[in-house]
C-alpha cells in the first residue's frame, strides 16, 4: 500500500483547555494539551479514570466544545466551525467507533456500514465497501439487524462503518470495552491492519494495556495533561508505565 | 413506592402535560355541556314562570298530535283551537271572575325596515292577542299603549330595539294574507321578560289577532281569572269537571312548566349532540392515555424489573403505575372541570350567535355537574391505566439484567381472534341499530368497531406505514428512509397512536360521505320531481298565505300554479307525513303519473299513495283507508290513485279539498309554477318575483337555485359537525406529539449516534417530521376506511328518508389526507426540535 512518503498530520491539538463548570466548582478536564497525530499511525490514549482521555477524544472529534486552544483536523481549525459545519466534517472526515450504541437498530449491517454515505446522500464506493466487508469477515451477516449479531460482530460492523467513508481519521472510544478477549483481539487486529495495510489513521482511547499494545504509539494523560508517550508499546511496558502513574 | 411514583411524575413534566391535555379537554367538554344545560334549565324555568305569572288558568283542547310537520322540532305539545262560544260557557262556571279567548300564532312574521322578513334561525315568530282586561294577559306595555282596532300592533321591546322600529311608525306584518301595514303603538314585555329567547312577539287587539291568524270563530285558548278566594288549582279542577272530556284546564304554573319543558326538549337535542361529541373526545383521550402508559411502562421495564428484583411485589409495581394515573387523573379532572365552566360560557355565546336571545343570568354550576366531570375524568384515566399496569406486573425481575428491552410479544393469533370477534359484533350491532334497533345500539356498535380496528391495526401497521413511507423515503432519501423505519419499528405503538386519530377521521369521513350523498340525492330528487320552472317557499318550508298562489294565477306570464301544503296524519296510530296539492294541476307541471286508478279532481275527497307504499301495504286504488287527523279525528278516505315515486310529494297525497276539510292550519308551504309558453324566462321571472315581493318571507327559485340552496344547507350541517369533531382530532394529534416525544426519549442513544456520524440537525428534524406524517396519514387512512363503511351503513339505513345514492367524496378525502400531512408536521414541531437539540455527547455516553 501507499504509505504517505512525507508524514502529514491527521489531527492536532494546540494548547487545548477544557473547563467544566464555573468558579469554585470548575474542573479543569484538559490543561493546555498540545499533541499531534501523524497520518497513517495507530495511536492510543491512555490514562487513569478522570485523566481526561475521553474528553480529549471528544474535543478532537468535534463532539464537544473547547474552552480555549485549537483543534485541527487536516488543516481545518474545527473550533471555529458552527454546529452544521462540524456535523458535515464528522460525516465526511471522521470515523467513529464507540464502546456501545454503535449501530442503528432498524438498519441492517450493510446499511449501518454505509450509513455516513447515506446521510450524505452519496453512493458508496462499492469496491471499497466490498473490500472492507471481506476484511472484517461479515459477508454472510450483511442483511442481519444488530439485534441478530453478537457483540463482537456488532463492533466489527461499527469498525467497517468507520472505514467505509475513507475518513481522514478514526476515533475509537473503548471499542473493546464490552467484548470478550477473543472478540477484542479480532477488532484490534482489524484496526491495526487497516493502519498497516490501508494507511488509515486511528486514535483510540482505552484503559486496557493489552488493547494499547496493538497501537504504534501510546500517549499518557494524567490530570488533564499529556505527561508521556511510548512508541511501539507492548502490554507489559504499558502496564508498568500505568502502575507508575498510580492507576 | 409513592416517593418513586411522584418522582417519576415530576421527572416527566412534558409527558404529564400532554397526557393531561387529553383528559382536560374531554372532562371540560362534558362539564361544559352539563353546566350549560343546568344554566339553560334554570334560565327557562325563571323565564316561563315570569312569562306565565298572572295567569290563573287556561282552557284548551286536549293535547293532540301536531298536524304540522315539525321539522327538527322537539315535538312540542299541540292543541287544536276551541270554539268561541266556549268562552261564555266558561264564564258561567262558579269561581271564574273573568275569561276571554286568546289567539296565538307561530307564523306572524315582521318585516324589517329594509323590507326583509325577520326570521331568526332558531327562535320562533310569535303573534298574540293582547287582552284589554289586564287580569287576562301576561303581556305588559313597556312604552306607549296597548294595540286596539284593526291597524295597531305592539312588539316586544327587544325586537323593537334590535330592528330599529319606531313607536308611532308603520310596521309591516305578514300573517295570513299579503303583507299588511300596521302602526306600532307600544313596546311590550312578556310577563317579566323583555324578550322571549329572541323570538319576535307581535301583539294585536284580540279580534284583529283572531282574524289575522285565520281562526274565524275560534280561539287558540281561553284565559281565565279566578274569583277572589278561589285558588288556581281549585279553579282548574272546577273547569275540568265542568268541561270533562271535551276540554282541559291547566294552571299558570303548569303552563310555565310545559313551556319550559317544550323549549328544553329543543335544547335537549343540542345537549345530546354536545354530549356525544364530548364522549368522542373522551374516547380518543382514553386511547391516548392507554398508549402513553403503555410506552412509559415499556421504557420503565428495567426500572420496574429492578424494583421487582429488589423485592417489590407485583401489587406494589401495579400500585406505582396506577398511582401515577391517579395523580394525573385528580389533577387533570380538577383543571378540566374549571376549563368546562369556561367552555359553558363559550357555548352560551355560541347559542346567542345562533340567534337565541338568552336572558342574562349567572352561570348555574351545580355540584352534580362538577362531580360528574370529576368522576368521568378520574374513572376514564384510572381505568385506562389498568391494562398497562397489569402488563407492568408481568415484568420479570430478570429483565433488569438484560441489555436491551425486548417489547413484550402478545400472540398474533389471540389478537386476530379478539379483534375479529369485536369487529363482527360491532358491525352486527351497528347494522341492527340502524335497521331500527335504536341509537344506543348504533353507538355501541360503532364503539366496538373502533376497538376492533385498533386491535387489528398493529397487524397492518408495518406494511401500510411502510407503503405510506415509501414515496417519502424515495424523495427525502436518508431522513425519509429513517422516518419510515422508525414509524414501522413499533407497529403497536404506531397503530395505537394512529387509532386515536382514526376515531375522529372516521366520524369526519362519515359526515362527509353523508352530506355528499345527501347532496347528490337531493339533486337527483330535484331533477326528477321538480320539472316546473319556479318554486316559491320560505327557507324553513314554513307556512305562508294561500293568497300567494291566487296572485300568481292571475299573472298572464304563468300558466300553471300548484300550491302545496304539508302536514301530518296518522294511519294505524303511526304519524305519517303527507302532502296536499291539486293532483291534476300538479300533473301539468310536475312528475305525477297515476299507475293505478286516475288522478282525482281537486274537489274530490281523496287519498293517493305512491307505488312503494301501495306495494308495501297492499293498498290499491278503490280501497278505503281509515286515517286520523288532528282536527277531525278518524276519517274514511278512498284511495283514488297510486302514483309513481315523487320526492316533492312523498308517500301520501290528499287533494286540497281534503286538506281544507281536515286541517286547522291553512296556508301554503310550497308553490310550484310554470311559465306560459311564448313568454321569455326573464319576463316570467320578473312577474313572479313581483308577486313574491309582497310576501317577504318567501323566495323564488329555479332548479339551479334550489340545488344551490340545498347544497348550502348541507354544507352548513357538514361544517358544524366538522367544527365539533375538531376537538377529538386535536386530542389525537396531542397523542402523536406524546408518542413522538416518548419515542425520541427512548432513542436518545440512537439519535446521538446518528448526530455523531454526521446527521445534521435539519436532517434530524426531517426524520421526526416525516415519521409524524406517516403516523398521521396512517390514522387518517384507517379512519377513512371505517368512515366510508359507517357512511355506507348510514346511507343505506336512510334510503327511505330520501338519501338514495351513496357518494364517496374522493375530493374531500384527498383534502383530508393533505391536512393530515400538514397536521403531522405541526405535531412534529416540538418533538423534532427536541431531537435536533439533543446533546450528542450525553446521548452517546452509555447510561
Chain A residues 157-196 within an 8 A CB cutoff of chain B: 161
Mutate to test the interface with A, among B758, B767, B771, B774 (most CBs of A within 10 A): B758
Distance CA(B431)–CA(B838), nearest Å, equals 51
- pLDDT of A169 reads 93
How is residue B562 written as a grid cell? Answer: 300548484
**pTM summary value:** 0.81
pLDDT (0 to 100) of residue A7: 64
Q: What is the CA radius of gyration of chain B?
A: 33
- CB pair distance less than 8 Å for B844 and A118: no
B547 burial type by CB count under 10 A (0-12 exposed, 13-18 middle, 19+ buried): middle
CA dihedral A164, A168, A173, A178 (to 10 degrees): 20
Residue B571 grid coordinates: 294511519
Report d(CA A205, CA A203) in Å as an integer. 7
- What is residue A2's predicted lDDT score, i.e. its pLDDT? 44
- Is residue A6 scored above 80 in pLDDT? no
Alpha helices (H) along B530-644 = 547-553, 583-589, 611-617
Low-confidence ranges of chain B (pLDDT < 70): 1-15, 69-77, 121-122, 354-361, 398-411, 846-847
Beta bridge partners of B51: none
Residue A233 has pLDDT above 50, yes or no: yes
Kindly state the cell numbers that stand for A129: 465497501
Distances from the Cα of A178 to the Cα of A71, A150, A151, A184, B131, angstroms: 29, 11, 8, 9, 100
Q: Which of B667, B656, B661, B664 is nearest to B547 (CA)?
A: B667
Instruction: Tell the residue number behind the cell numbers 276571554, with chain if given.
Output: B100
Helix axes B252-299, B232-242, angle to 10 degrees: 110
Nearest CA among B72, B45, B116, B121 for reference residue B695: B116
* Three-state SS letters, B488-513: HHCHHHHHHHHHHHHHHHHHHHHHHH
CA distance A115 to chain B (A): 8
A18 against B196, higher pLDDT: A18
Going along chain A from its start, the domains and CATH numbers come out as 40-65+80-244 (3.40.50.300)
Phi and psi of B147, rounded to 5°?
-70, 140
pLDDT at B719: 87
Confidence at residue B411, expressed as pLDDT on a 0 to 100 scale: 65
CA B789: distance to chain centroid?
Answer: 21
> Rounded to an integer, what distance in angstroms lies between the CA atom of residue A191 and that of residue A163?
9
Beta bridge partners of A82: none
Comparing C-alpha atoms, which of A247, A203, A221 is closest to residue A62?
A203
Q: What is the pLDDT of residues A71-129, one digit of tens each?
A: 999 889 999 999 889 999 999 999 999 888 788 888 899 999 999 999 988 888 899 89
Provide the grid cell at A168.
481522514
Nearest CA in chain A to B759: A119
Q: How many residues can be counted in chain B?
A: 847
Q: Tell me the pLDDT band of A4, cut-offs 50, 70 and 90.
A: very low
Coil/strand/helix, residue B624: strand
Report the alpha-carbon distance of residue B119 to residue B695 in Å, rounded: 13
Cβ atoms within 10 Å of A47's Cβ, excluding its own? 27
Q: How far apart are CA A224 and CA A59, in angstroms?
A: 13
Question: Using one digit for the tens of pLDDT, what is the confidence trace for B481-528?
Answer: 999 988 888 888 899 889 989 999 999 999 999 999 999 998 988 888
Residue B307 grid coordinates: 424494583
Q: Are B754 and A104 an interchain contact pair (Cβ–Cβ within 8 Å)?
A: yes
Percentage of chain B surpassing pLDDT 70? 94
pLDDT-based confidence at A5, cuts 50/70/90?
A: very low
B672 Cβ partners below 8 Å, 6+ apart?
A: B530, B532, B534, B535, B536, B561, B562, B564, B586, B589, B590, B648
Give Cα B428 distance to the centre of its chain.
25
| Residues of chain A positioned with their CB less than 8 A from the CB of B489 | 105-106
Query: How far is the C-alpha of B6 from the C-alpha of B28, rounded, in Å?
Result: 25
Measured in angstroms, the CA of B736 and the nearest CA of chain A are apart by 21
Distance from CA of residue B814 to its chain's centroid? 26
Q: Closest by alpha carbon to B844, among B767, B750, B758, B743?
A: B750
For an interface test with B, the pick among A20, A64, A96, A101 (most B C-beta atoms closer than 10 Å) comes out as A101
On whether any CB of chain B is under 8 Å from the CB of A87, the answer is yes
Q: Pick B753's closest partner by Cβ from A91, A92, A104.
A: A104
In this predicted structure, the answer to whether residue A171 has a pLDDT above a threshold of 90 is yes
Amino acid at each position: 500500500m501507499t504509505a504517505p512518503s512525507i508524514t502529514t498530520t491527521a489531527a492536532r491539538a494546540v494548547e487545548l483547555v477544557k473547563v467544566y463548570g464555573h468558579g469554585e466548582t470548575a474542573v479543569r478536564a484538559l490543561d493546555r494539551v498540545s499533541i499531534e497525530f501523524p497520518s497513517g499511525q495507530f495511536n492510543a490514549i491512555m490514562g487513569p479514570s478522570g485523566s481526561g482521555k475521553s474528553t480529549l477524544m471528544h474535543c478532537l472529534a468535534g463532539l464537544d466544545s473547547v474552552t480555549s486552544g485549537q483543534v485541527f483536523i487536516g488543516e481545518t481549525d474545527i473550533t471555529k466551525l458552527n454546529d452544521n459545519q462540524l456535523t458535515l466534517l464528522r460525516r465526511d472526515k471522521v470515523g467513529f467507533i464507540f464502546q456501545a450504541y454503535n449501530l442503528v437498530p432498524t438498519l441492517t449491517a450493510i446499511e449501518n456500514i454505509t450509513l455516513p454515505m447515506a446521510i450524505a446522500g452519496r453512493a458508496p464506493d462499492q469496491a471499497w465497501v466490498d473490500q472492507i466487508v471481506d476484511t472484517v469477515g461479515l459477508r454472510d451477516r450483511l442483511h442481519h439487524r444488530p439485534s441478530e449479531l453478537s457483540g463482537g460482530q456488532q463492533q466489527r460492523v461499527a469498525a467497517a462503518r468507520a472505514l467505509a467513508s475513507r475518513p481522514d481519521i478514526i476515533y475509537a472510544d473503548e471499542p473493546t470495552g464490552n467484548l470478550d478477549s477473543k472478540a477484542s483481539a479480532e477488532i484490534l487486529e482489524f484496526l491495526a491492519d487497516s493502519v498497516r495495510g490501508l494507511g488509515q489513521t486511528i486514535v483510540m482511547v482505552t484503559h486496557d494495556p493489552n488493547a494499547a499494545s496493538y497501537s504504534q504509539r501510546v500517549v499518557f494523560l494524567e490530570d488533564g495533561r499529556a505527561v508521556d508517550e511510548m512508541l511501539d508499546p507492548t502490554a507489559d511496558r504499558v502496564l508498568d508505565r500505568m502502575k507508575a502513574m498510580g492507576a | 413506592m409513592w416517593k418513586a411514583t411522584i418522582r417519576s411524575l415530576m421527572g416527566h413534566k412534558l409527558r404529564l402535560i400532554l397526557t393531561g391535555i387529553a383528559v382536560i379537554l374531554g372532562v371540560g367538554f362534558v362539564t361544559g355541556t352539563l353546566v350549560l344545560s343546568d344554566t339553560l334549565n334554570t334560565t327557562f324555568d325563571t323565564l316561563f314562570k315570569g312569562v306565565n305569572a298572572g295567569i290563573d288558568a287556561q282552557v284548551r283542547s286536549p293535547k293532540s298530535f301536531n298536524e304540522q310537520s315539525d321539522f327538527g322540532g322537539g315535538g312540542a305539545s299541540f292543541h287544536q283551537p276551541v270554539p268561541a262560544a266556549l268562552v261564555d260557557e266558561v264564564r258561567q262556571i262558579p269561581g271564574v271572575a273573568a275569561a276571554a279567548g286568546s289567539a296565538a300564532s307561530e307564523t306572524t312574521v315582521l318585516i324589517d325596515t329594509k323590507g326583509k322578513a325577520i326570521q331568526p334561525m332558531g327562535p320562533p315568530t310569535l303573534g298574540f292577542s293582547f287582552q284589554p282586561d289586564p287580569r287576562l294577559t301576561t303581556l305588559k306595555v313597556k312604552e306607549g299603549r296597548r294595540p286596539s282596532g284593526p291597524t295597531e300592533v305592539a312588539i316586544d321591546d327587544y325586537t323593537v330595539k334590535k330592528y330599529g322600529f319606531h313607536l308611532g311608525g308603520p310596521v309591516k306584518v305578514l300573517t295570513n294574507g299579503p303583507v299588511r301595514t300596521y302602526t306600532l303603538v307600544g313596546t311590550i314585555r312578556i310577563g317579566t321578560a323583555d324578550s322571549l329567547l329572541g323570538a319576535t312577539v307581535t301583539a294585536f287587539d284580540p279580534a284583529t289577532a283572531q282574524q289575522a291568524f285565520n281562526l274565524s270563530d275560534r280561539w287558540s285558548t281561553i284565559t281565565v281569572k279566578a274569583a277572589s278566594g278561589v285558588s288556581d288549582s281549585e279553579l282548574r279542577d272546577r273547569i275540568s269537571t265542568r268541561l270533562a272530556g271535551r276540554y282541559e284546564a291547566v294552571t299558570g304554573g303548569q303552563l310555565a312548566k310545559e313551556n319550559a319543558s317544550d323549549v328544553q326538549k329543543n335544547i335537549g337535542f343540542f345537549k345530546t349532540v354536545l354530549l356525544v361529541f364530548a364522549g368522542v373526545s373522551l374516547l380518543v383521550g382514553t386511547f391516548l392515555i392507554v398508549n402513553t402508559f403503555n410506552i412509559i411502562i415499556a421504557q420503565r421495564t428495567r426500572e420496574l424489573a429492578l424494583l421487582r428484583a429488589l423485592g417489590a411485589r407485583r401489587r406494589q409495581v401495579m400500585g406505582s403505575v396506577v398511582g401515577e394515573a391517579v395523580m394525573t387523573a385528580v389533577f387533570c379532572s380538577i383543571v378540566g372541570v374549571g376549563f368546562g365552566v369556561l367552555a359553558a360560557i363559550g357555548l352560551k355565546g355560541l347559542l346567542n350567535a345562533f340567534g337565541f336571545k338568552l336572558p342574562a343570568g349567572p352561570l348555574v354550576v351545580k355540584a352534580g355537574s362538577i362531580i360528574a366531570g370529576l368522576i368521568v375524568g378520574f374513572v376514564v384515566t384510572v381505568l385506562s391505566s389498568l391494562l398497562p399496569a397489569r402488563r407492568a406486573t408481568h415484568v420479570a425481575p430478570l429483565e433488569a439484567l438484560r441489555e436491551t428491552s425486548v417489547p413484550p410479544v402478545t400472540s398474533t393469533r389471540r389478537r386476530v381472534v379478539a379483534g375479529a370477534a369485536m369487529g363482527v359484533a360491532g358491525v352486527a350491532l351497528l347494522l341492527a341499530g340502524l335497521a331500527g334497533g335504536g341509537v344506543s345500539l348504533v353507538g355501541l356498535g360503532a364503539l366496538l368497531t373502533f376497538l376492533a380496528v385498533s386491535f387489528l391495526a398493529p397487524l397492518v401497521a408495518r406494511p401500510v406505514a411502510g407503503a405510506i413511507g415509501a414515496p417519502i423515503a424515495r424523495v427525502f432519501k436518508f431522513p425519509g428512509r429513517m422516518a419510515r423505519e422508525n414509524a414501522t419499528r413499533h407497529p403497536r405503538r404506531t397503530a395505537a397512536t394512529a387509532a386515536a386519530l382514526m376515531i375522529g377521521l372516521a366520524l369526519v369521513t362519515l359526515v362527509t360521505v353523508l352530506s355528499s350523498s345527501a347532496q347528490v340525492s337531493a339533486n337527483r330528487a330535484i331533477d326528477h320531481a321538480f320539472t316546473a320552472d319556479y318554486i316559491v317557499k320560505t327557507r324553513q318550508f314554513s307556512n305562508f298565505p294561500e293568497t300567494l298562489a291566487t296572485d300568481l294565477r292571475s299573472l298572464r306570464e304563468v300558466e300553471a300554479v300548484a300550491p302545496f301544503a304539508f302536514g301530518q296524519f296518522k294511519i294505524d296510530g303511526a304519524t305519517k307525513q303527507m302532502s296536499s296539492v291539486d293532483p291534476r294541476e300538479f300533473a301539468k307541471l310536475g312528475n305525477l303519473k297515476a299507475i293505478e286508478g286516475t288522478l282525482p279532481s281537486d274537489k274530490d275527497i281523496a287519498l293517493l299513495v305512491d307505488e312503494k307504499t301501495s306495494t308495501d301495504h297492499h293498498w290499491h286504488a278503490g280501497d278505503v283507508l281509515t286515517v286520523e287527523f288532528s282536527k277531525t279525528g278518524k276519517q274514511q278516505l278512498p284511495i283514488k290513485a297510486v302514483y309513481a315515486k315523487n320526492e316533492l310529494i312523498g308517500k301520501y297525497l290528499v287533494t286540497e279539498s281534503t286538506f281544507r276539510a281536515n286541517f286547522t292550519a291553512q296556508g301554503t308551504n310550497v308553490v310550484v309554477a310554470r311559465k306560459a309558453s311564448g313568454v321569455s324566462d326573464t319576463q316570467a321571472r320578473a312577474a313572479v318575483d313581483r308577486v313574491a315581493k309582497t310576501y317577504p318571507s318567501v323566495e323564488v327559485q329555479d332548479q339551479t337555485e334550489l340545488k344551490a340552496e340545498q347544497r348550502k344547507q348541507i354544507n352548513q350541517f357538514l361544517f358544524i359537525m366538522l367544527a365539533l369533531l375538531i376537538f377529538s382530532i386535536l386530542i389525537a394529534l396531542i397523542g402523536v406529539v406524546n408518542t413522538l416525544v416518548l419515542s425520541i426519549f427512548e432513542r436518545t442513544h440512537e439519535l446521538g449516534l446518528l448526530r455523531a456520524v454526521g446527521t445534521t440537525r435539519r436532517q434530524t428534524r426531517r426524520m421526526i417530521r416525516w415519521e409524524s406524517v406517516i403516523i398521521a396519514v396512517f390514522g387518517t387512512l384507517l379512519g377513512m376506511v371505517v368512515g366510508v363503511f359507517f357512511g355506507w351503513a348510514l346511507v343505506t339505513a336512510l334510503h327511505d328518508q330520501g338519501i338514495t345514492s351513496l357518494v364517496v367524496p374522493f375530493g374531500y378525502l384527498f383534502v383530508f389526507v393533505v391536512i393530515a400531512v400538514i397536521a403531522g408536521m405541526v405535531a412534529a414541531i416540538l418533538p423534532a426540535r427536541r431531537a435536533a437539540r439533543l446533546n450528542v455527547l450525553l446521548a452517546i455516553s452509555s447510561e
